[in-house]
C-alpha cells in the first residue's frame, strides 16, 4: 500500500508540503480527487486508506469521504447519460477484461463462469424459438383438376429429366 501512495504523491502532495501553501487551488483538488478515485477503484476503501489519503493531501479524512461522495455522484450521472447500448458495451468490455485476466492467471473456474455469464446475458444459451406461420390455400376439386391438366406437360418434362427413384426395401410377410 505504501508504494501505491508513493506513486500518487509524485508530483502532487509532497511538492506542496515543501512549498508550504494551501491545498485549495483547482489543480490540487483535481489531483486529490484523481488519487481518491484511483484508491476507490484499486484499493480496499477502508478508514485507513481514507486517513492516509488525507495525510498525503493535507486534508481531513472527512474531506476525502466528501471527495469520494462527489466521485460516486459523477459516476452515477455518467451512467444515466449513457444509453443502454453503451452500458452493455462497457459491461461486455469489463467481462472480456476479466476473462482475459482469468485466462492469464489460469483460473479456469472463474473463466468458465464468466463465459457462461456472457452467454446468458447475450442470449446465446437460450433455446432458439422460431415462429412459423403457414397459410394453406384450398382449391376446389375442379380447380385442382384444371391446374393438373394445365401443368401436365411441365410436370412430365420434369419427371423425365429427373433420375429415376429407386426404393429399396426388405419385406418379409408375417406368418
User: The whole model's pTM is what?
Assistant: 0.41
Q: Tell me which residue of 49, 46, 41, 55 sits closest to 9, measured CA to CA.
A: 55
* Inter-CA distances, 40 with 28, 36, 59, 63, 124, Å: 18, 6, 17, 14, 34
pLDDT for residue 31: 93
pLDDT, position 1: 44
pLDDT score of 74: 87
The CA dihedral of 76, 79, 80, 83, to the nearest 10 degrees, is 180
Output the pLDDT for position 91: 78
Q: Say what the pLDDT of residue 35 is.
A: 94
pLDDT score of 14: 43
What's the pLDDT at 19? 47
pLDDT tens for the chain, residues 1 to 175:
445 555 554 444 444 444 445 557 889 999 999 999 999 888 888 999 999 999 999 999 999 999 999 999 988 887 776 677 777 777 788 888 888 888 888 888 888 888 888 877 777 677 667 777 766 667 788 888 888 889 889 888 887 887 776 767 676 777 6
Amino acid at each position: 500500500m505504501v508504494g501505491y501512495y508513493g506513486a500518487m504523491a509524485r508530483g502532487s502532495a509532497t511538492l506542496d508540503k515543501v512549498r508550504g501553501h494551501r491545498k485549495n487551488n483547482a489543480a490540487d483538488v483535481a489531483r486529490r480527487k484523481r488519487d481518491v478515485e484511483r484508491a476507490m477503484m484499486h484499493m480496499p476503501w477502508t478508514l485507513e486508506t481514507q486517513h492516509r489519503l488525507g495525510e498525503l493531501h493535507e486534508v481531513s479524512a472527512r474531506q476525502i469521504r466528501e471527495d469520494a461522495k462527489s466521485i460516486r455522484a459523477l459516476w452515477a450521472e455518467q451512467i444515466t447519460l449513457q444509453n443502454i447500448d453503451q452500458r452493455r458495451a462497457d459491461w461486455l468490455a469489463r467481462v472480456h477484461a476479466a476473462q482475459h485476466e482469468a485466462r492469464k492467471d489460469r483460473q479456469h473456474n472463474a473463466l468458465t463462469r464468466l463465459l457462461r455469464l456472457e452467454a446468458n446475458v447475450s442470449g446465446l444459451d437460450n433455446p432458439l424459438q422460431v415462429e412459423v406461420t403457414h397459410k394453406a390455400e384450398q382449391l376446389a376439386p375442379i380447380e385442382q383438376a384444371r391446374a393438373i391438366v394445365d401443368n401436365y406437360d411441365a410436370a412430365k418434362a420434369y419427371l423425365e429429366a429427373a433420375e429415376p427413384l429407386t426404393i429399396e426395401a426388405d419385406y418379409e410377410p408375417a406368418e
